[in-house]
Amino acid sequence: MAAAYKFEIYKDKSGEFRFRFRAPNGEKMFASEGYASKASAKNTIKSIIKHVGAAEVDDVSKVKAAKDAPKPAKKAKKKKTKKAKK
């Protein structure tokens, strides 16, 4: 029997419940955020299973930055110092 895709629920070091989705070859495909209860993690898994077939792919990798998006910090300019004439 071939291995199957599966969700694994586990408790992290801080005591939160998380889940990861594994491919049949054992590769981790994605992982969740932390949940306070195991029931919350399970409900999220159920929601993913229910809605994944109708989910759209929204490629935002090429979208220009929004006007309200935080701008990257500017590097401080070095002051030019005049050398003393000899």
- Chain segment 29-43, per-residue pLDDT in tens: 999 999 999 999 999
The neighbour count for residue 41, using CB atoms within 10 Å, is 22
Residue 26, domain CATH: 3.30.160.160
pTM: 0.67
* Predicted pLDDT of residue 68: 59
Residue range 16-25, pLDDT digits in tens: 999 999 999 9
d(CA 5, CA 39): 21
Per the structure, the count of domains in the chain is 1
Domain assignment present for residue 32? The answer is: yes
Position 76 in a domain: no
Domain, as residue range, for 17 = 6-52
| C-alpha to C-alpha distances, 9 to 34, 36, 69, 70, 73, nearest whole angstrom | 11, 13, 35, 35, 39
* 2 pLDDT tier (thresholds 50, 70, 90): confident
